[in-house]
Amino acid sequence: MKKQSLAAVIRDDYVNLPVFLWLALWAAINTGHWNLPGWLDGGLATVNALRAGAPMGVILVGGLIVLSTQSPYRSRLTLPEGLFWLYGLAMLAASFQVTPWFNTAYWGFSFIAVLVAVRVFLAGDEPLRQITRLNYVTWVVAAIVLIMLLFFARDVLFEDESGYGLVNRTADVAGGAMSRATGMARFAAIPAVLAFVMFWRIRGWVSWSMAVAVFAGSVSLVWFMQSRGALFSLAGTLLFIMLFMGKAPRIIAVGLFILGLGGGIDLIPEETQTYIVEHATRGTGAEGFKSMSGRDRIFRMAWQSIQEQPLLGYGPQADRRILGENGQNGLLYAWLSGGLLGMLGYVGGMLASWWYFLKIIFGKFHLPAREWDMLIMTGGILAFLTLRSYPENTAALFSVDLLVQLPAMVYIAMLYRYLEVARRNKRRREKMRGAKARGRYQAEPGTT
């Protein structure tokens, strides 16, 4: 078979309506319902109004595509998707109690639009290949956005010893605020995770050198931004990945973990220790870890509000309306916004993804190298965002985190489904061959 050129692959596999709808959701980031009235004002106001309206358009167009798809080609809903649908609908239902209703419901619709867009990808044949492509698109878009942010911040990014507080030093970008240090570090962590997997798996000096360069640059940016949540989440994720990269990386990961628990940091010169601790904690030391930049206070406020209305919740963006500030925790945000049922859907969706991941790892399935690499990449992305969900809201709301995390979750669930079907079919074929062999044996003269 003749090998296709890169341009042909992009044209055939990525220039289509599902990709366009997905890109429209990325374009909607950093806008909101407040932009919608400006669609007739012209210029940037019209552009931002169209961006803000993208989630509604995705629900309308994507919903029609999914509903019109013939059932033999429509992939069944995966468990993580179904549970996230439960969470999204619970948030939307809770928004009916808020006035004005649409200003709150907009964020529930936006969350659901992401679920609809994923369904559009899975509406055709070969859903596993389609969800793989969706992850590829997501990673490329995240890298492009990171490059754009670095370009817009180029004049002030390195004028200080740290990138923390960048949002206060940078002008607006397309009518919206520059990404915070936590957001910039999140963008940098994605290529770091992917390149780290390739570092252990790739063959060829040129490709390996590129993986090393991407990894080093991405990790350096995460370190420079001084986002403690991203920094420690990435460190934990890299150790997690090493557990599945073969015997040598596994031994190194376990060794590093044991050294960390056993005081192995004493092997590092004291001056270096001081620099690392001061930089990683932004000069706050142990007290900064204890309060987590005031998150302990926010968590107490959130829990008190949850206790006052635990079942129904307050609708999307409840942290802003009820607490007056960012909730800074995925679970608490989900409970505040979607009530008990919604929170169970959100947490259940993540746990289901992890269950499928572990089932694949320990299920003795035969995985080709490409599928194994993809599994560890998506698992690494999920690990990073799971760890990050403690100090940030992450995928509990319409966000970059959701756009990155959901395709990874669905890929893991879809891969497990394919592997289980393949295993059942193999057993069925072996059973049929055994039955035929026994039939031939009994039919031979003198064998009865």
Asked if residues 353 and 409 have their Cβ atoms less than 8 Å apart, the reply is yes
Q: Does 33 fall in a domain?
A: no
Burial of 252 (0-12, 13-18, 19+ CB in 10 A): middle
Distances in Å between the Cα of 37 and the Cα atoms of 33, 40, 47 are: 8, 8, 12
Q: Does 355 fall in a domain?
A: yes
Q: Does 25 fall in a domain?
A: no
Q: Does 142 fall in a domain?
A: yes
CA-closest candidate to residue 58, choices 143, 119, 102:
119
Q: Structural domain of residue 327, as residue ranges?
A: 132-443
Q: Which two tokens stand for residue 260?
A: 């960390």
The count of domains in the chain is 1
Q: Does 260 fall in a domain?
A: yes
Q: Does 50 fall in a domain?
A: no
- Please count the CA atoms within 13 angstroms of the CA of 36 that sit on its side-chain side: 12
Burial 38-74 (b: 16+ CB within 10 A, else e): beeeeeeeebbbbbbbbbeebbebbeebeeebeeeeb
Q: What CA–CA distance (Å, rounded) separates 60 from 75?
A: 20
Residue whose pair of structure tokens reads 């009518």 in the numeric block: 175
Asked if residues 385 and 401 have their Cβ atoms less than 8 Å apart, the reply is yes
Q: Does 333 fall in a domain?
A: yes
Per-residue pLDDT of the chain (448 residues; tens, 9 = 90+): 567 777 888 887 888 999 999 999 999 999 999 999 998 888 999 999 999 999 999 999 999 999 998 766 567 899 999 999 999 999 999 999 998 999 999 999 999 999 999 999 998 788 999 999 999 999 999 999 999 988 887 766 766 666 666 655 555 555 555 567 788 899 999 999 999 999 998 888 899 999 999 999 999 999 988 888 899 999 999 999 999 988 888 888 888 777 766 566 666 676 766 667 776 666 666 566 666 667 889 999 999 999 999 999 999 999 999 999 889 899 999 999 999 999 999 999 999 999 999 999 998 888 888 999 999 999 999 999 999 999 999 999 999 999 999 999 999 999 999 999 988 888 888 788 777 777 665 555 543 3
Q: Does 246 fall in a domain?
A: yes
Q: What CA–CA distance (Å, rounded) separates 223 from 162?
A: 9
